[in-house]
Structure 1
């Protein structure tokens, strides 16, 4: 396949996704012309016509190969997603400066997508399904809900080739010594800073670092070791922290240690030669998928104790321990506040998140013999013929689709719902926050991670969480139950299951009504079993009513279009559109009530 056809393919794929998500978020409207034909009419006078299949989510699956750009009597195959955004700018209420930022991020995303299309060409879905988790993350498309998900503004072509996830290249960190009083830090009682060094450096490398410390008069009684990404050092730290460097409060020791592979999240790294070693999460001040990829300092002191508390819950709670639910614990965190930006109220958040690190347990360290781990995002990945990893796993497992899904839902959705109802803990469980542990190509259990900003608490009386660390209570958001339930509805159902159910409908002819019927059955069984032993949980199920008829439509792409690409003091917050019919509620209705009302509908690519 020639390079230009990859470019056209990447454009069609992104155009289909963009049309789909913008209609779903009600920024555009798709009118049905015939059984499978739809049209989006724009104020610019340009229309986009395509074939699509309606889904249970008031959302269209668009066939990217059928999209045509219609202007007057002229109809052309649509291979230019940038032109679409120009055509739709008035409808989307995009200011010229915002459109410029969007096109910048779009160009970067398309280049990255072309690299992925080329890279995956030689592999079938069955091949991808058998890759190790670390290998497979270098082949993944990224968040399906975000129209433009590989923008990485701040990087050029060289950085894409060297540091991007799809490049599949390992990176060695630079190491700094930071004077202790300059940091905000915390670590588990089971770990200290010297032990953390051993997770990244061999004995020989540690000796080389010690030699550098002696030469530069660094002693570990006064300093703390901190890894930094080479790009972050060159483009931000060496300039922004020049004052601390000149004073000797921060000392550059050099480049040491193992090679680390960037995961699909871009800023989390796995150890290449020693997969069981701790993962390292580092700030990268690039704008990617709606925000800068920094690390907020406010979670550093509570992260280890919060994740330890979560792990203790998973051990002592029979619903969680019986399902093998585990936590990828954040064992240490370190943040170096900027001397000047920290004093400026309202300074752009990216300046407050430039230097720090989080150390987190690796999934490999949790796997037993005969088990392997896989990021849940991998289930959504398709090969060049449109066949998915989830379907490949179902086929190779020897299980029926229903049985395979029962294992999946019992291992993932039930623990998330249980944490919500028993403890008032909401996790934004998108597909990159959940690691599946597989046994025989079926899901055996789940490992949860990423509590920095993706864990929130429900307001109300929850005596079961009375022992949560005070440091966590001081920084975690506490919101009403009807907000927190969206960490499950929107963070998981809409962001993950919406795409899985539609893919199985297309590829395995498995109806979405059956998909959500299986989920409803698993959740009802859980509710029935737990209320027999804990009758008070029935009240919690009413508070967190997962079977209510309607749920709010939370929109992330519209927020980016309205906020633009300028700096802000806080990260963007999603907005709410019109209500959706809840697929769980629909699955329990009589057949005549299950029919979706999709006159003007919404829309990912077939």
Structure 2
């Protein structure tokens, strides 16, 4: 029997008030002090908690069913904290209340202990929490015994008057400390078992994750023509087989071959034999068996296998923690809905196999910092000596305004006091946010001399809570959603890169964003499309370390120069109008645990004909991207995670572009401000259109078209006819760009087949040179353009394997 899944989600008063009222007024809940309260009384209490940025109410579910109520709060700051004036409190304390729902039938042995342990796991998932603090009524022997069983220490009895007078026992549970082996030594038994057993790594979860990733491997590696499956049996049944070069491994499966050579492989149909004997699916074995066809260097193969293992572990974690259904996601609104969609993504990237590597993260780090965990994160702040640090700002932003917007006055005063207490002048420093893992695993060790000589001064955690986004090192502010995203350096290996941030490379980022935003805002066509840019308004990087000095003296470049930096990007929330909601465009490629597609559900909920829904999306997405290319020679990297959809009535109204500083290019000789010159790229004419053909057609539209086709929502030929219509309408609306349209020839019969997995397989440590990305590309012949006139498309032989270039 599988272990029941315990999850927590923010209380939704409109949905949950009936439950809450029944629970808190039940005779078993006498110590909750709400006996006799009306529904209105309970609603008012939890509405006030919802307004308090330092207090949070959580609905707990067990196997999807509502089962308990939890509250977490900053005991020194929450307006509802009954202990905020006690001298016993310390920085890093988190208050906790738990109420288990009255049982509907016979009590389940161990149920309350499992719930209690899950809530403690939730509390300690925030790395900033050093202790959990509780204050049970002194007469509540049952909860005091539970606290003691989980390792709480009873400090003393205190007289409290909020919300009513009571004698309480102030008790604390310290964060578990690791032993020399790295494992916690003082966890209570209930928590230690969960920590040490990695409960998500089960044969059942692994089998599902392996089948999914093997399916993707067969599909995407065949799409890139690294593999050439052979058709077998009745052609109407779509049977294929693939044999390893040594003849030992054989794969058979069914698939449909869709536009752009998209292999829609049926997961349930895949079978593997090894030496003629049925064998389980294993994506690592698949890569080893087919390595001679994949072109991966022997010395890098183990690293790639590690990234695949980490991707499997991430998939198993998601299966264990049961992501929300697409229907639930569409029911959520506002900030919570936006972030729930971000956390629900089950696929890190639609094309890459090893897309959740995160080499460097441990099991606890995954639970604390991965986007799918959705755990609250507080950033670690350091003061960086000004003479060794560059802060770049947008033209409309000052240093003072940045700190005032991102750090409340009490925090700024605290930072200054910390510096003065050390005998340092606050004017000599700039504030720099760090990923908590980066501080613990890298900065405090790899840059120990800088910390010791006070060039870097740890200031502690900021008060705001954030959530990691799909890009893993970018954080959304959940305490103050109108505040900026924060993008941090993170020295984990993920999807072909160490995820650092270069201070030198980021220096001109705000100026580049200002220039791009000005161009976009000043273009009548782009304004009509509703297309706009989320600017990266500030960037900061520290360069006072030995690694930068080595580069200055000997020209030695290394990842160590990309470990202490951050930038701030505009939040999309202030741009929303009444009736609008947000979702990452990556969500259009998402299927939930039951296989239900987010995009298909959106079309259904919108009430629009599928063709009309797609047309609106293309006009908001493809048309402005194409216009930027044709009218301005300006290329973005417009894949799913780099765009935010603004939805109205479940249809796309407009899109917001982000991640501009690192992934934008000007491909002609137009005049540029000196600080923007970095984005000029010398791109061959025949490659320029790939900014649409590869990044949009192959990277996004291919996958969405396949989902809609396979779900029976919209035939793929109709989908691609809409793509063609979108580009034809733009061409007709802009006769002044006729010459540019002819040069780009976006509706040409075929285009070069630029491949992603080939890049990662060639070099798992650095797929491309960011300073010259076009020269790093690898090709596998050409692809027939499904948006071209059908009569002009070339015939395609899916059995051809191209070794690329």
TM-score (norm 1): 0.92
What does residue 356 of structure 2 align with?
Answer: 150
Give deviations 1:160-214, integer Å, cap 9, x for gaps.
Answer: 1111111111111111111222123310233233333344433333332232132
Q: Cα offset for 1:254?
A: 1.8
Q: Cα deviations across residues 240-271 of structure 1 (Å, max 9, x unaligned)?
A: 33333233222222222201110010000000
Tell me whether 1:501 sits opposite 2:705 in the alignment.
yes
| Partner residue in 1 for 2:344 | 139
Identify the match of residue 16 of structure 1 among 195, 208, 215.
Answer: 215
Question: Matches of 2:633 and 2:290 in 1, distance apart?
Answer: 42
Describe the SS at the equivalent of 1:583: coil
Q: Judge conservation of contact 1:456–1:484 (CA < 8 Å) in 2.
A: no
In the alignment, structure 1 residue 281 sits paired with structure 2 residue 487: yes
C-alpha deviation, 1:385, in angstroms: 2.2
Whether the aligned pair in 2 keeps the contact of 1:146 and 1:557 (CA below 8 Å) is yes
Deviations 1:529-552 (A, max 9, x none): 121xxx2x1111122211111111
The residue number in structure 2 matching 1:376 is 585
Contact 2:498–2:766 (Cα < 8 Å) also in 1 = no
Matched residues in 1 for 2:769 and 2:723: separation? Answer: 40
Please name the residue that 1:193 is paired with: 399
- Pick from 293, 297, 306 the counterpart of residue 91 of structure 1: 293
In structure 1, what is the equivalent of residue 474 of structure 2?
268
Question: Does 1:61 pair with 2:270?
Answer: no
Residue 231 of structure 2: aligned partner: 32
Partner of 1:554: 754
Q: Aligned in 2, Cα 1:37/1:518: closer, same or farther, shift over 3 Å?
A: same
Shift of 1:399: 0.4
Alignment pair present for 1:423 and 2:632: yes
Take 2:719 and 2:543, find their aligned partners in 1: how far apart are those partners? Answer: 47
The DSSP-based 3-state class of the residue aligned with 1:446 is: strand
User: Could you tell me how far apart the structure 2 residues matched to 1:568 and 1:39 are?
Assistant: 33
2:562 aligns with one of 346, 350, 353: 353
Farther-moved stretch of structure 1 (518-527 vs 307-316): 307-316
Mapped partners of 2:219, 2:598: distance in 1: 22
Residue 328 of structure 1 is aligned with which of 534, 539, 549? 534
Distance in 2, Cα, partners of 1:410 & 1:524: 11
Give the conservation status (yes or no) of the 8 Å contact 1:120–1:139.
no
How many angstroms does 1:487 deviate by? Answer: 1.8
- Matches of 2:398 and 2:468 in 1, distance apart? 24
Q: 1:398 maps to what in 2?
A: 607
Q: Equivalents in 2 of 1:15, 1:331: separation in Å?
A: 41
**Cα distance, 1:337 vs structure 2:** 2.5
Specify which of 303, 308, 311 is matched with residue 101 of structure 1: 303
Residues 256-300 of structure 1: CA distance to partner in whole angstroms, max 9, x if unpaired? 220111001000000011111100000100010111111123343
* Equivalence for 2:676: 472
Q: Do the aligned partners of 1:185 and 1:301 also contact (CA within 8 Å) in 2?
A: yes
2: distance between equivalents of 1:282 and 1:204?
A: 23
Cα-to-partner distance string for 1:212-245 (whole Å, 9 max, x where unaligned): 1321344443221101112111221123333332
Residues 519 and 584, structure 1, Cα contact 8 Å, conserved in 2: yes
Is contact 2:342–2:371 with CA below 8 Å preserved after alignment? yes
The aligned residue for residue 744 of structure 2 is 544
Contact 1:241-1:338 at 8 Å conserved across structures: no
* Contact preservation (8 Å) 1:265, 1:432: yes
Aligned-partner Cα distance in 2 for 1:60–1:206: 55
Counterparts of 1:548 and 1:219, CA distance in 2 = 63
Q: Give the TM-score taking structure 2 as reference length.
A: 0.70
Conserved 8 A contact 2:510-2:661: no
Q: 1:347: how far off?
A: 4.4
Report the Cα distance in structure 2 between the residues aligned to 1:401 and 1:569, rounded to whole angstroms: 40
For residues 545-575 of structure 1, the C-alpha deviation after alignment (integer angstroms, 9 at most, x for no partner) is 1111111111221222222448998798331
SS of 2:341's equivalent in the other structure is: helix
Q: Give the Cα–Cα distance (whole angstroms) in 1 for the partners of residues 384 and 498 of structure 2.
A: 24
Distance 1:445 1:26, change over 3 A: same
In the TM superposition, what is the alpha-carbon distance from 1:71 to its structure 2 partner? Answer: 3.0
1:479-531 per-position Cα deviation (integer Å, ceiling 9, x unaligned): 23322321221112111111000000001252211111001111111110121
Residue of 432, 435, 443 corresponding to 2:644: 435
1:449-598 equivalences in 2 (<5 Å): 449-460=658-669, 462=670, 466=671, 468-531=672-735, 535=736, 537-565=737-765, 573-585=776-788, 588-590=789-791, 597-598=797-798
State the SS of the aligned residue for 2:259. Answer: coil
Distance 2:325 2:453 in 1: 55
Q: Report the counterpart of residue 128 of structure 1 in structure 2.
A: 329
Q: 1:566 to 1:189 in 2, by over 3 A?
A: closer
Which range is displaced more, 337-346 or 7-16?
337-346
Larger mean CA deviation between 297-306 and 108-117 belongs to 297-306
Counterpart in 2 of 1:291? Answer: 497
Q: 1:226 aligns with which of 428, 432, 452?
A: 432
**CA pair 216-276 structure 1, distance change in 2 beyond 3 A:** same
2:250 alignment counterpart: 47
Match of 1:444 in 2: 653
Q: Which has the larger radius of gyration?
A: 2
- The reply on whether 1:80 has 2:285 as its aligned counterpart is no
Secondary structure at the residue paired with 1:189?
coil
The alpha-carbon distance between structure 1 residues 386 and 186, as it changes in their structure 2 partners (threshold 3 A), is same
Tell me the residue number matched to 2:154: none
Is the CA contact (8 Å cut-off) linking 1:281 and 1:358 kept in structure 2? Answer: yes
**Is the 8 Å Cα contact of residues 548 and 582 (structure 1) preserved in structure 2?**
yes
Task: Name the SS for the 1:57 alignment partner.
Answer: helix
Q: Report the counterpart of residue 178 of structure 1 in structure 2.
A: 384
Gaps of 5+ in 2: 3-201
Q: 1:20 touches 1:61 (CA, 8 Å); kept in 2?
A: yes
Classify the secondary structure of the residue corresponding to 2:659: coil
